[in-house]
Amino acid sequence: MKHLPLFFDLAGRRVVVVGEGAKAQGRADLARSAGAEVSWLIPAEARAEDFHGASAAFIATGDLESDTTAQRLAKQAGVPVNVADRPALCDFILPAIVDRDEVVVAISTGGTSPTLATILRGRIEAALPQQLGALARLAATFRSQVNALIVDPGRRRAFFRRLVEGPAGRLAMQGDEAGARRAVLSDLDATRGRQVSQGIAHIVGAGPGDPDLLTLRAAQLLQEADAILHDDLVPPEVLARARRDAEFVSVGKRKGRPSWAQADIDAELVRRVAAGQTVVRLKAGDPFVFGRGGEEVDALRAAGLAYTVVPGITAALGCAASAGIPLTHRRIASAVTFVSGHSATGARQPAWAALAAEGHTLAIYMGASEAVSVRDRLLDAGSDPNLPVAIVENGTRPDQRVSTGRLSDLARLAALHSQRGDAGPSLIVVGDVAAYAAAAEPSQFAQVS
């Protein structure tokens, strides 16, 4: 982040504007809209003492020499400066603004592309209703009362979410302020009689790694959660989409490293939900595809606790798409099977003879460390040693790596990935479709656009 976004109270404060023309006028109008008292200066007559006591200075003379002189005088007076179209001379920059009364959205590109900021402003303006300010005023009216009544932060957030998204919010947006107030008061009365906090767990798929591949529901729940219990494989870029004041707990399980046992994760999930928290159990990929989400649902059901399941883009789909591999293809592959490279002790093992069938694609999870075993089992089951294979490491992420070859060479290919100390999660694709990765351009391996 190049610039720290701040909202500065200018009501009753003096702001200096140097220059003439539309850009200077626009800055003066903007300052006045925030309640500032504007002092105009003619560039040739400006002195350092003219800036003393000002909260900010806007300079827009259109002439580099005049802009530089005025900027220097303002700096001498210790006043922060914005110079139109000259980012190098600025202490602060002006964002593109969407104004909905109490709700203000500022968009900045750090001065690199005002056109992009303007385009984004237009899209946001189209998405935000004009009456949004009325909704903010409604929430402000009841803020002290709600804070006094509801001590638990999680329950308080849930109340304000109901206010914003429920009947009260809809009435406020329609201009019915009296009806909106009645709806809030009714909810407050109901809340007074509710003594026990009700928590909930959301078992959420984080997708294969690219934060832009989160589902809309997953992104929404990350903003609602009191606590996020996340896998070790969930990247920081995905966690950054969560509420900043949420509690983050890494409960990852990585082979060969100290980690949480599944029973401990289940117990922690139950404990937090029973205590009234809104918990997101964030899993790489999809929670019901080799994610052990079913076991966590079993634990929550047994405890009589509320839960939801939010699917995610599983690794096979995300990694294959990112590497240009169609998992099925009309001419060469009519079936696809997801297989775990290593299974729990006593678990049912895959029927390798059936998996080795022609026209069948295998997507093998957690298989890099078991590449020798996977190769040998498929060869023993009758697979062609020349069958194409691909290994996709860190699929969909900027550091994605793809290796291609033949089934007989799978162990060597896997070693190229696993021997690196910073190796990430890998997916193995076995089948004729894996050859499509070799035909893709290297740039297509970098990330999903």
Q: Which residues are catalytic?
A: 231, 253
Closest CA to 373 of 326, 417, 339: 339
Interacting residues of 379 by C-beta distance below 8 A, sequence separation 6+: 385, 407, 408
User: Is the backbone of residue 438 left (phi > 0), alpha (psi -120 to 50) or beta?
Assistant: alpha
Interacting residues of 348 by C-beta distance below 8 A, sequence separation 6+: none
Numbers of helices and strands, H then E, in the chain: 16, 16
Closest CA to 204 of 277, 272, 288, 269: 288
> What 3-state class would DSSP assign to 94?
coil
User: Is the backbone of residue 194 left (phi > 0), alpha (psi -120 to 50) or beta?
Assistant: beta
| Spatial separation of the C-alpha atoms in residues 445 and 440, rounded to whole Å | 8
- Please report how the helices 410-418 and 371-380 are oriented relative to each other, as an axis angle in degrees rounded to 10: 170
Residue ranges of alpha helices (H) inside 356-420 are: 371-380, 410-418
Intra-chain end-to-end CA distance of the chain, in Å: 22
CB 61 within 8 A of CB 67: yes
| Spatial separation of the C-alpha atoms in residues 400 and 412, rounded to whole Å | 19
Strands 247-250, 227-230: pairing is parallel
CB 98 within 8 A of CB 121: yes
Q: Dig out the tokens for 155 from the structure.
A: 């329950």
228 sits in which H/E element: strand 227-230
CA distances from 149 to 164, 169, 264, 272 (A): 18, 20, 35, 22
Residue ranges of alpha helices (H) inside 199-322 are: 216-224, 236-239, 262-274, 293-302, 315-322
